[in-house]
Structure 1
Amino acid sequence: MTPQAILFDFDGTIADTLEVIVRITNRLADEFGYPPTTPEQLVYLKNISSRQILQNAQVSIFQLPLLLRRVRQEMKQEIPQVQPIAGMPLILKQLQQESHLQLGIVTSNQENNVRLFLETHQLSHIFSFIRSGRTLFGKHKLLKKVLKQENLAPENVFYVGDETRDIEAARKTQIASVAVTWGFNSQQILQTYHPDFLISHPQELLEIVQNW
């Protein structure tokens, strides 16, 4: 099989947004009635699944969509200061120039935020498309829509993400999952979800493509 496309999550996979997200959610804590996240709690959260985080969240299920929308909106002010994951720009450029693969972003962040980040770091030309969805656990539906729109065969597509929900979304879409350890979830919890590939450096993306 020849790979056709690599689809990327954005937050924690391409962009190092963890510190920004924690800062924004802590700033909104009083307004939404939940306690701020301490460094100790953050370590705990990185070692449990996305679904467990949602179950433990002290936010009303009715307020959650509004909170997520506010976080995305406030991130627009922070995006110009957000840096790419170390080593990722170079690897993305190599993939785009050498592999002839179609590269796309599928994210729950706002498309405007992603585009602003890419423009800031001169990465806009690398990606053929950006698709954004607003639900935390509906990414598989978005991935299926992308496959149909771009005429991509599932067996020839990778999805690269940093959370357990990214692995779940890829599995539901029947595409190969590449879990990265440099984002939100820890290597330990990612391993328990059995991704097709588990990598700790962007360079390993090239090796996956070359050996596919």
Structure 2
Amino acid sequence: MLKYVIFDFDGTIADSRVVFVSAWNEIAEKYHFKKMKLAELENMKKLTIRERCKMLDFPMYKIPIFIPQLYKLYRQSINDLLLYDGMKDVLNELNKKGYKTAIISSNSEENIKLFLRRNSIENVTDILCSSHIFGKDKLLSKFLKQKQLDTTEVIYVGDEQRDIIACKKAGIKIIWVTWGYDSIEVVQSEEPDYKASLPGEIMQLI
């Protein structure tokens, strides 16, 4: 029986495209990487993380080094962060139906809490974060252990290929959402369990 619905943050609940591009371009300016334009993100959705790093002249092995700096700059523009239309309704509806909701993200807990407060979202019970963008399966397993949950008692909602890979490693089913950072071309080989093209479809799948 399902008890928890766990959400990714960026690209799933929060539309962070403008904030992310702004933060990245500050880093690119300082360290001489390639800047990006907001209009380029749609095409970048079709690229893997490795391909995006190559496009931006950014060594992939440096991701863990720059993630804290990126999210610090991100926090400075957090007022520009948008809530995807319909996602607050989904969170409220899940709460009404008795499901608990959590967020597991590679963003910072401080950024997420600021965003939730600003949007008057009060029904997210747990937030787990890690700066290791490929270590989400460990966070999922940690969450299950802490809450004494079986893998069948949770489902994850996320937008990226790495979310699907992490869920498969942790033995958790995932709803992949189409409005985030990865396109179908990137994720289809990982075969997500479910697909939602609109926030309202999440409720139909649960």
* TM-score between the two structures when normalised by the length of structure 1: 0.90
Corresponding residue for residue 87 of structure 1: 86
State the match for 1:170 in structure 2.
167
Inter-partner Cα distance in structure 2 for 1:159 and 1:52: 25
- Matched with 2:151 is 154
Please give the per-residue CA displacement for 1:174-206, whole angstroms capped at 9, x wherever unaligned: 000111001111133222321000111111111
Q: 1:52 to 1:61 in 2, by over 3 A?
A: closer
The match for 1:28 is 27
The alpha carbon displacement at 1:40 in A equals 6.2
1:63-142 map, 5 Å: 63-98=62-97, 100-123=98-121, 125-142=122-139
Aligned identity (percent) is 32
* More divergent stretch after superposition (144-153 vs 111-120): 144-153
Work out the CA distance in 1 between the residues paired with 2:24 and 2:131. Answer: 17
TM superposition shift of 1:22: 1.2
> 1:53 corresponds to which residue?
52
Give the deviation of 1:88 after TM superposition. Answer: 0.5
TM-score (normalizing by structure 2) = 0.93
Task: Give the 3 Å change call, closer, same or farther, for CA 58–120 of structure 1 in structure 2.
Answer: same
Asked if the contact 1:6/1:159 (under 8 Å) is kept, the reply is yes
**Residues 76-127 of structure 1: per-residue CA shift (max 9 Å, x gap):** 12112311111100111011112x112100000000000000000000x211
| C-alpha distance in structure 2 between counterparts of 1:16 and 1:40, whole Å | 14
More deviation in 64-73 or 133-142? 64-73
Which residue is equivalent to 2:196? 199
> How many residue pairs end up in the alignment?
206
Tell me if structure 1 keeps the 8 A contact 2:53–2:60.
no
CA distance in structure 1 between the partners assigned to 2:49 and 2:59 by the alignment: 16
Q: SS of the counterpart of 1:131?
A: strand
Answer whether contact 1:7 1:104 (CA < 8 A) is retained.
yes
| Structure 1, unaligned runs of 5 or more | none
Distance 1:50 1:157, change over 3 A: farther
Contact 1:6 1:158 (8 Å CA) reproduced: yes
Distance in 2 (alpha carbons) for counterparts of 1:88 and 1:66: 31
The answer as to whether partners of 1:50 and 1:164 remain within 8 angstroms in 2 is no
Give the distance between the partners of 1:86 and 1:143, measured in 2 at CA.
Answer: 26
Is the Cα–Cα contact under 8 Å of residues 5 and 156 in structure 2 kept in the other structure? yes
Aligned AA for 1:190? Answer: V
Q: Secondary structure at the match of 1:26?
A: helix
Q: Stretches of 4+ moved more than 6 A in 1?
A: none
Task: Give the superposition deviation at 1:51.
Answer: 4.4
Q: In the alignment, residue 21 of structure 1 is paired with which amino acid?
A: F
